[in-house]
Each structure stands twice: as structure tokens, then as C-alpha cells.
Chain A
């Protein structure tokens, strides 16, 4: 609602020209809160299946801890396997949320309303999942605290010059910031839910809403905080994936020691993040019957963004490969050969098809652009980006500078189980989230929603 200030000229309520609201703000509130209630058979079945897969993954992790990291598929010379592939993949997807939400919030894009919370939740869940992989990968998670700089009796400190320590600070900052960024705009909705609930549920939501009353000073403070947080989180988001790229580019390994790795990783992260977002939005739209909120416009807009990033990703990939090929450095050429035409050739060309050809056709041709094609492109890009992470990690380690040290890699059942478990965990966390919190920010619908 846009009224007028004390000293400003009177102005009527903001309305979309030529449209009358199809639903009032109260109707929107009732509908979105209504979506949190009830547990269908399909919902319970999904929770059970995902829970079972996660439990199996936890068993696999427990087995790895008990029997030793040697039971994972990693061994000389491929010391980084699926655990690190998944780490980079999930941290990359985490850029969906906060980055997209922050950009849309800062630019005042009106169509962001039904998108932002779904996106912010993706960030938090992906960081929780991705952040686990260094713990899984070190094999002995109980000694993880050695990474923390605390005064200890052995006078040991972490090596601050290690990119792995940079990872720790970057991911912790990003996770904390993203949690706060998700939580702050949830507060008014939590207070709203508390006012409609009773008993224990009311107590929990009231405590979570921190005593929100809807006072003007609170709205002003929230708006200021969200603007500041959006700026801060943007900077942190870019830094996080740059730091993940530094894990690779700071090492003298063939094709890793590259100056464009940080921006290349950031672009890939945003690319995979948007792909995950459109896929999640399509699933939410179907499962929670949010057709009136998540409209074709949202998918088409995100689809165009996905197409743009597909082109940028292709540009970076081309530049990276062309420079390596033209340099003709034997160590790097061996990696290039095995990646493009050798053992990993099929995966490489599948990656190019998924990340470039599919979005180019489905999203580049305007009349093909629809919710289904945007979601299909999103799914293809996710497959492609996972393969890209695999192709960055494994071929380089399997083909080191010293030809005699070359080796192979086959993931073990432990790594495959944990990989499956993380995808199930992502779905499970989302399933639980949509029943505990409104997936769309109710208070942002101050004008209701216009008719189509």
C-alpha cells in the first residue's frame, strides 16, 4: 500500500493498471497459512522414503568413521573424490537463494515476492549439507575442532594461510548470515501464526517471533536490516565460492592453478543455484497448489536468467579450455585429453549438453519457454553442474604432472550412499520446512494478488 507521508501529496493505493486484485491480502494470508496444515499420504510417504535414504547415508558415514576413510573410494592419487565433488556442488547451489533474493530485493523487483523465501531456504539447507562434507572427508570428524583458533595446551594454532581454513571462516560466515537473512523476514509471519495457534505451538511460534507486535518502528527496523543484510550477504556469497575455488587454484595441479577459477566458480554457483531454484519452485507449485502465486512469469524470468548464465558459463569454460589447449603444456594437455576424449569424455560432453545445449534450445527459443521447459532446463543444469564439479576434481588428481603417479578412481558404496543421502536430506528438510513455516512471505502481499 502506497499512501503519503506527512509532508507529501496524497496518493492512492498502489494498484496494477487494468487489473483488480484477484485475492485480497487476507485471502492470501488464509491460503498460505492453510498450505501449512494437513499431512497427505503422499507427503508422509515422501518423508518416510527420504528419511530412510538419509538414515542409510548416516549408516554409511558411521561405517566410514568406524572402519576408516580407506573404505571410501579415495586413494592415491585421487584423494578428493565424491565427498569434495558434493561439497563444491552443494555450496554452489547455496548461491541460489540468498544471492537471488538479495539482488531482487535490492533492485525492488516486484515479482520476487513468492520466490525469495523458497530461495533463502535453499541456501540454508544447501550450506548445512555442503558444510558437512569437509567433516565427512577428513575421516575423523571428532577432531574437527582442531581447525578452530583457540588457545590449547599444545600451543597449536591453525594455519591461517591454508585455503581450507579460509573455507571454514567463509562458510561459517555465509551460513550464519543466510540463517539470519532467512529468519528476519520470517518474524512477522511467525507472529501471525502464533496469533492463530494455541497451546505449545503458540508458545513456540511466539518465542520464535521475539515479541513482534506489528508496530511501525518494527517494520522500519526490519526494512533497514533487510537492506543492509542484502548488501552484506551479496558480498559474502561471492566470497564464499571464490574461496572454494581457491581450494583448487592455490594448488599447483594441472588445470587447477588458474586465475579465472574464482569467477568461474562463482558463475557456476549462481548458474546451478538458479537451476535448483526453478526446480524447487516447480515442485512447490505442484505440491502445494501455488499456481496463483508462482506464475509463468516467475519461471520465464528465471528461465531468461538461467539462459544468460548458461552463456556466461559456456564462455568461461571455453576460455579455460582454449587457454589450456593453446598453452600446450604437457601436464595440462594430458588432463585435457582424458577429460575431453578419454575416460571422462562421455561425462564431459554430457556436461556440455546439459549446461549449454539444453538451456539454449529450451530457453533460447521464445515459444518453447514454459514452466515445464524451464524446470526441465533446471534439472539438466543440475546434472551438468554436478558433472562439472566431478570433472574438475577427479581427472586432474587422476592425471598428475608425474605420469608414473597416474591412477584411477571408482566411488565406493559409502560415497554413493552419502551422495544419495544428501539429495534425500535436501528434499526432507524442504518437506519439513514447508509444513512448519509459510513458504511465501505473507506480509509482503500488502496488496493481495492481481488477477491474471
Chain B
């Protein structure tokens, strides 16, 4: 079953924030609300807090890439022993730079992948329609339900529209 959505345009982030607060206090799940704007809506604390695993994934990717690179280097050095400048065949000192750089590369790719995933970019399927963004205002989107359009209008929305889901 497809659900229609409501798009409410607010003239400023402050009125949009007040409307979101009112919706949440009226029992609308924050997970159902989305805010669209041309510029980030900066608030003291996130208007719609979302869990993120970006840092965790960055750290895990760093560990995986770093240990993988170190293991590869050590294996290769044992597989093809190459004596350089009197150093031991396997040496932590001489491998440290490679380990560090690949660790960082792992963290960078982990961050990029999570950014794309958490932002729903690059081909993620949308379940909600995308509104046309106003130059200055903010659009609050939520699934259509009885009484919500009136509540949004009462909270200062400049206009409230019904939008059909994509497809």
C-alpha cells in the first residue's frame, strides 16, 4: 500500500523547528519526519537526531586495512627475503609508514561509504517524493494522516501540499 505525504513549507528554520517539536509531541515518530532545505538547518542539538555508525565503521575499516596491509607486507618479505641495509627481513620500523598510510586509506574509504549509505545517495531507492526546494525556506515532510495538515498550518506553514510517493 502506498502512502501519500504532506509537504509543509516554512519560511524559516525556527518555525520549522517549532512545527517539528509540535509534531513529535503530538505523537508523530521522528523517524517519519524529514526536513529538506538548500542549506543545513543548524540547531544547538540535531532537530531530528539520527544514529550514525560512521565513526565505528571508519575505525573498523582502518583496522581491517591496516592489519591487511601489514600482514601482506610481512608475508611478502618472508616469501621473498630481501636484505636492505642490514635490516632484518621483517621489520616493524620499516613497515610502519605503509601500515599507517593504508590504515588511513581504510578509514577514508569507510567514511566515504558510510556517508553515501547514511545519506541515501548513489542509487538508493526512495520511498518518499522529493520536494522542490525553496530558496530560503524549509520543507517538512511526513506521511499523510488525519489532522496533521491542520497542525502544520497552525504551526506557521506557508503552504501545505499533498505529494504522492514516487513510482
Measuring CB to CB, which residues of chain A are less than 8 angstroms from any residue of chain B?
1-8, 10-14, 24-26, 29, 149, 155-157, 159-163, 165-166, 169-170, 172-173, 176-177, 180, 184, 187-188, 192, 195, 210-225, 228-229, 232-233, 235-236, 239, 243, 246, 443-446
Q: What number of residue pairs across chains A and B have CB atoms under 8 A from each other?
A: 207
CB pair B14–A3 under 8 Å, yes or no, is yes
Complex: chain A residue closest to B52, CB-CB = A224
Majority SS at the chain A contact face? helix
Interface residues of B in 14-59 (CB under 8 A from A): 14, 16-18, 20-21, 24, 34-48, 50, 52, 54-55, 58
- In the complex, whether B1 has a CB less than 8 A from a CB of chain A is no
On chain A, the residues within 8 Å of B104 by CB distance are: 173, 177, 232, 235-236, 239
Number of B interface residues in the complex (CB < 8 A) = 67
Per a CB cutoff under 8 Å, which of B38, B47, B111 touches A232? B111
CB pair B40–A13 under 8 Å, yes or no, is no
CB pair A5–B17 under 8 Å, yes or no, is yes
Given A210-B116, A213-B36, A217-B120, verify A229-B101 contact (CB < 8 Å): no
Given A11-B44, A221-B118, verify A4-B35 contact (CB < 8 Å): no
Interface residues of B in 71-104 (CB under 8 A from A): 72-73, 76-77, 79-80, 82, 84-85, 87, 91, 94-95, 97-98, 100-102, 104
CB distance from B116 to the nearest CB of A (A): 7
- In the complex, whether B105 has a CB less than 8 A from a CB of chain A is yes
Complex: chain B residue closest to A223, CB-CB = B40
Per a CB cutoff under 8 Å, which of A4, A169, A225, A246 touches B43? A4
Measuring CB to CB, which residues of chain B are less than 8 angstroms from any residue of chain A?
12-14, 16-18, 20-21, 24, 34-48, 50, 52, 54-55, 58, 72-73, 76-77, 79-80, 82, 84-85, 87, 91, 94-95, 97-98, 100-102, 104-105, 107-108, 111-112, 114-116, 118-124, 130, 133, 135-136
On chain A, the residues within 8 Å of B58 by CB distance are: 228, 232
Interface centre among B58, B73, B95, B100 (most CB of A within 10 A): B100
In the complex, 9 of the A-B residue pairs with CB atoms within 8 angstroms, ordered by the A residue number, are A1-B39, A3-B16, A4-B43, A24-B136, A169-B97, A192-B38, A215-B36, A217-B119, A228-B111
Complex: chain B residue closest to A207, CB-CB = B122
The CA-CA distance from A232 to B58 in the complex, in Å, is 10
Given A212-B121, A232-B107, verify A161-B87 contact (CB < 8 Å): yes
The CA-CA distance from A325 to B42 in the complex, in Å, is 57
Interface centre among A11, A161, A177, A446 (most CB of B within 10 A): A161
CB pair A243–B44 under 8 Å, yes or no, is no
The CA-CA distance from A147 to B62 in the complex, in Å, is 23
Given A159-B84, A210-B121, A218-B120, verify A13-B12 contact (CB < 8 Å): yes
Per a CB cutoff under 8 Å, which of A216, A217, A239 touches B101? A239
Complex: chain A residue closest to B87, CB-CB = A161
Given A149-B76, A177-B105, verify A217-B118 contact (CB < 8 Å): yes
The CA-CA distance from A242 to B104 in the complex, in Å, is 15
CB distance from A30 to the nearest CB of B (A): 9
Given A173-B108, A210-B122, A224-B54, verify A159-B82 contact (CB < 8 Å): yes
The CA-CA distance from A13 to B42 in the complex, in Å, is 10
The CA-CA distance from A301 to B73 in the complex, in Å, is 45
Question: Nearest 6 pairs between A and B by C-beta?
Answer: A5-B45, A225-B115, A221-B119, A161-B94, A216-B35, A210-B121
The CA-CA distance from A177 to B101 in the complex, in Å, is 11
The CA-CA distance from A111 to B84 in the complex, in Å, is 50
